[in-house]
Amino acid sequence: MRIIGEINHAKYKITVLKMNEKVTLQIEDRLVSQSFAFRDGSGVKDLATAQQLLTPDFLSKVDARFAEMNKDYMDALEELNQDEFEDFEII
């Protein structure tokens, strides 16, 4: 897989990758990421066509998904850390 370009965005790191005849749009927000893979014939074949996907409506849905993902991430860490503290004897 090779990087064919990056798309500037104020909030996210957006990378476009290509492997064989598949283009992947990878959007990262801190420690979580979303990837969208497009096979040959889907209409997404290069950096320019991948960039056309980033409409306000599409990015609004990405924002909502990231909010859920970040909450799930933090909840999982809290639960993990809570379990670790319960293993210690209270003195």
- Give me the pLDDT at residue 46, please: 94
pLDDT in tens, 31-46: 999 999 999 899 999 9
Tokens of 3: 């990087």
Q: What share of the chain has pLDDT > 70, as a percent?
A: 90
3-state secondary structure of 7: strand
User: If you write DSSP's letter for every residue of 42-79 in order, what string do you get?
Assistant: SS--SHHHHHHT--HHHHHHHHHHHHHHHHHHHHHHHH
- Give me the pLDDT at residue 68, please: 97
pLDDT score of 61 more than 80:
yes
Q: Is the pTM of this model over 0.75?
A: yes
Q: Which residue has the higher pLDDT, 88 or 61?
A: 61
